Amino acid sequence: MKDKHQSSLSKLVAKLALAVVGMFAFGFALVPLYDVICEITGLNGKTGGRYEYQAETVGVDESREVTVQFAASNNAGMSWEFRPMQNQVTVHPGELTEVTFYARNPTGKRMIAQAIPSVAPSRSADYLRKTECFCFTQQVLEAGEEVEMPLLFFVDQAIPGDIHKFTLSYTLFDVTQNFAGRDLSAK
């Protein structure tokens, strides 16, 4: 009886250990899986990377206007002041536009932040072309330091005619711990 009980207990421990390993592997697979699902479905309004703006090849459609609204928020635990300097702009598709976001580190220590963009409605993300964005790199601010960060973008002329307005929002994350032990003497 004791051997049977021990055998059952060993099987249970093995199954539980396998479940833990499986959950750990699934956790690592979530990020790439999430990216693939967002790319296929267009969910979450993830924006693309950096675009080159060439005035001679990008025409401006002055017959149309699109309003781009801006929003900013901090992730839990991020203490910076973070906001857009303009709440919205109205642009012609193809027109290169610059707006500015403000950030201030009110803490008594150097911090590093990363801004993650999102667009709503999500199908608008396919037509937003950023040529310069503070979201492309981490932002390092000293204690009490403030900065105005530029965003240069244009709306692709292929944007559907029924999209007249969309919102570009950024969530600011504290990524200081990701750089622990690294030399942060240069920004």
Domain positions in the chain: 1-41, 45-179
Which residue is listed with tokens 């999102």? 118
Residues sharing a CB contact under 8 Å with residue 5, sequence separation 6 or more, in sequence order: none
- Domain 45-179 coded CATH 2.60.370.10: yes
The pLDDT value recorded for residue 145 is 97
The pLDDT value recorded for residue 111 is 95
CA atoms of 42 and 36, how far apart (whole Å): 10
* Residues of the chain above pLDDT 90, percent: 58
The length of the chain is: 187
Which residue is listed with tokens 């005035």? 55
The pLDDT value recorded for residue 54 is 59
- Hey, what's the torsion of the CAs at 161, 61, 164, 155, to 10 degrees? 110
The pLDDT value recorded for residue 8 is 82
pTM (two decimals): 0.69
Report residues of the chain scoring pLDDT below 50.
Answer: 40-46, 51, 187
The pLDDT value recorded for residue 16 is 85
The pLDDT value recorded for residue 148 is 97
The pLDDT value recorded for residue 31 is 59
Which residue is listed with tokens 């059952």? 8
Q: Where are the alpha helices (DSSP H) in the chain?
A: 2-41
